[in-house]
Amino acid sequence: MHATEAEEEPQMPPENQPAGGFDDTPIPWAPPGYTLKFTFHRANNLPFADFNSFSSDPYIVAQLITDLPRRHKQDPLFLFRTPTVRRDTNPVWEAQWIVANVPASGFYLKCRIYDEDPADHDDRLGNVHVVVDGIDDGWEGIHQQAFPVRKRSGSKRAYAIRSVAAALSRNRKLDAELILSVECLGRTEGDNGGQMYTVGPMHWFKHFSPLIGRLVGTSAAADDHDGSGRALTYNFPAVQMQLRGPVPSVLYHRYVEFRPFVAGMFTSKTLRGRILNRALHHQHARIYNFDRSTLYGQFPEPSVDVTRHFLEFVDYGRGGRIFTYVLTLDGQFRFTETGKEFGIDLLSKHTMHSDVSIYIAFSGEFFVRRRKHHHRANGSRGSNSTEEEADSSKDPSMYELIIDNDSGTYRPNGTLLPVLREFLSSNFPELHITTLDCQADADRMNRLKEERRQIKAQSRAGVVYLQPKLGSESSLSSSDEEEMAIRAGQPGKARSELRQQLHDAKNVKDRYRRWLEEQP
């Protein structure tokens, strides 16, 4: 039976299976909370982080903390990142974050302000703390209030530069502030307020890694997000989309401890684990890097426009591409293209995408293809069918998303694929979605993916990849991930191999920095 037809209750793995995978721990019950809209308006008088321009490229990472009990203490933090404002110490973001089920007991909002610096490291410009001790139906909220930026945790270099500037100018003030608002939109619907989640907006980031694109021979349109048709350049794109929550609570998976050393990789409790953990965090930051080429946008709510944008991200299924994805517990949908040519010092694809998160909602692979014989749905084709088909070539209903649970890192439960399909359908209207269980539907899944690889091979004939082959013509599967991790965990080999990986990662970063310096 196909996963799309499965309706039985999800089952825990047999006792002889590795620890991890599906976790049936329920969300602790709590009374329904409130839906709040946080607006990060602007900041004033931030310190300089760039001595050459006497400016900064500031952005905010906000963490929302409440007293809601969590299923496990290892659940990821509840975070929001604003876009980056370029060369401005008085940045204006006007970025909104709508969060549901904030409890009546209040919240603690911690805002870390950073200067973006992809060529080096992001300097912290300071912290802002907002504490609200309680919320009720009559709570008036916070309206464009200025909060001081604490510089104790800020970059000493940035504040040293500002001190020098202040000494040279009588008009330069040393106190920075962040202006924000918090509006209560009412009580959150539902019977259980134990799950806090992002309602919107549905913001997205598209990241580009030119050097990795050159290494793997990945060409993408310089402005392919809007179909402008500019000349092709080498770029390795990575996309993260904030979907509208809540993510169904039953979608809850832990990494699989198929070898003893794996736990150390996620928890950093051993020397080997710390090295692996650091390497994977570095890989995530390198793939999802923020720089001047990063694209950003948002949608207020799920719509056909969201679906079209997603289809643009995957080039409407052209080129035989297959993608690796991770869905986080708060609805971050992250994905990149996958395949043998993308095995650049990645210990595990899904661990990298999750940023070494112990718990996620779901993971696997997907691809998009045009639905066969879709033009016959309304009868026979007329004389103007070619023109009509061209006009409707970007109609979301003409495409099919085929998504699976092929992930050796988290091994998502195949019986939950219908739940995943329903959640994705609510966020991508009019897109036809088919789910495949990597075990129950293995034959069909392998056949469809092989068809994609043949299409890709034909479209990229003659491309020479610069990194060593992985010894298999297929994409990295679940077993490939485990084998790579097992090799990294072998006694006597782990330290030398991991040191070499860190050395290689540093070389990639150095080459990327030099490439940036050569750009006009």
CA–CA distance, 426 with 493 (Å, rounded to integer): 47
Cβ atoms of 233 and 222 within 8 Å: the answer is yes
Strand partners, 437: none
DSSP labels, 144-184: EEEEEPB-TTS-HHHHHHHHHHHHH-TT-----EEEEEEEE
469-478 pLDDT tens trace: 333 333 345 5
CA–CA distance, 419 with 2 (Å, rounded to integer): 14
Terminal alpha carbon distance of the chain: 57
CA 364-369-371 angle, to 5 degrees, is: 125
Question: Nearest 10 degrees: CA dihedral of 327, 333, 337, 339?
Answer: 0
- C-alpha torsion sign, points 428, 434, 439, 445: negative
The angle, 0 to 180 degrees and rounded to 10, between the axes of the packed helices 478-488 and 260-267 is 90
DSSP 50: B
154-183 pLDDT tens trace: 555 555 555 555 544 555 566 899 999 999
Portions of the chain given CATH number 2.60.40.150: 34-196
Q: Which CATH number fits domain 34-196: 3.10.310.30, 1.25.40.10, 3.30.365.10, 2.60.40.150?
A: 2.60.40.150
> How many C-alpha atoms does 323 have within 13 Å on its Cβ side?
29
Question: What pLDDT is attached to residue 457?
Answer: 81
| Residue 157 one-letter amino acid | R
Strand partners, 352: none
Question: What pLDDT is attached to residue 396?
Answer: 94
Locate 453 and state its tokens: 């690889």
CA–CA distance, 303 with 433 (Å, rounded to integer): 16
Question: Nearest 10 degrees: CA dihedral of 132, 134, 140, 141?
Answer: 30
Reduced to 3 states, what is the DSSP secondary structure of residue 266? helix
Count the Cβ atoms, other than its own, within 10 Å of residue 452. 19
- How sure is the predictor about 17, in pLDDT bands with cuts at 50, 70 and 90? low
Kindly tell me if the per-residue pLDDT of 237 is higher than 50: yes
DSSP 228: -
- Do you find a cis peptide bond into 246, omega within 30 degrees of 0? yes
Locate 264 and state its tokens: 């150390």
> How many C-alpha atoms does 92 have within 13 Å on its Cβ side?
0
Mean pLDDT of 76-83: 96
Provide CB contacts within 8 A for 383, sequence distance 6+. Answer: none
Cα 242 from chain centroid (whole Å): 8
Question: Nearest 10 degrees: CA dihedral of 166, 171, 177, 183?
Answer: -160
Question: What pLDDT is attached to residue 233?
Answer: 57
Provide CB contacts within 8 A for 10, sequence distance 6+. Answer: 22, 24, 250, 413, 415, 416
Question: What pLDDT is attached to residue 335?
Answer: 95
pLDDT above 90 covers a percentage of the chain that reads: 53
Lowest mean pLDDT among 42-46, 164-168, 188-192, 387-391: 387-391
Count the Cβ atoms, other than its own, within 10 Å of residue 396. 19
382-429 pLDDT tens trace: 444 443 444 457 899 999 999 999 998 999 999 999 999 999 999 999
Cβ atoms of 239 and 313 within 8 Å: the answer is yes
- Do you find a cis peptide bond into 201, omega within 30 degrees of 0? yes
Burial 338-357 (b: 16+ CB within 10 A, else e): bbbbbbbbbbbbbbbbbbbb
Question: What pLDDT is attached to residue 270?
Answer: 81
Count the Cβ atoms, other than its own, within 10 Å of residue 301. 11
Strands 123-132 and 432-436, how do they pair? Answer: unpaired
Strand partners, 102: 34
Question: What pLDDT is attached to residue 380?
Answer: 44
Question: What pLDDT is attached to residue 223?
Answer: 44
Reduced to 3 states, what is the DSSP secondary structure of residue 97? strand
Mean pLDDT of 308-328: 94
Strands 359-360 and 332-338, how do they pair? Answer: unpaired
DSSP labels, 327-376: E-TT-EEEEEEESGGG-SS-S-HHHHHTTS-SEESEEEEEEEEEPTTGGG
Provide CB contacts within 8 A for 493, sequence distance 6+. Answer: 487
Locate 293 and state its tokens: 């080429």
Nearest to 103 by CA among 31, 200, 28: 31
Nearest to 277 by CA among 212, 360, 347: 347
CA–CA distance, 512 with 206 (Å, rounded to integer): 18
Rg value, the chain, Cα: 24
- How sure is the predictor about 361, in pLDDT bands with cuts at 50, 70 and 90? very high
> Could you tell me the pTM of the whole model?
0.81
Residue 433 phi, psi dihedral angles, 5° rounding:
-120, 125
Question: What pLDDT is attached to residue 219?
Answer: 55
pLDDT above 70 covers a percentage of the chain that reads: 69
Strand partners, 202: 299
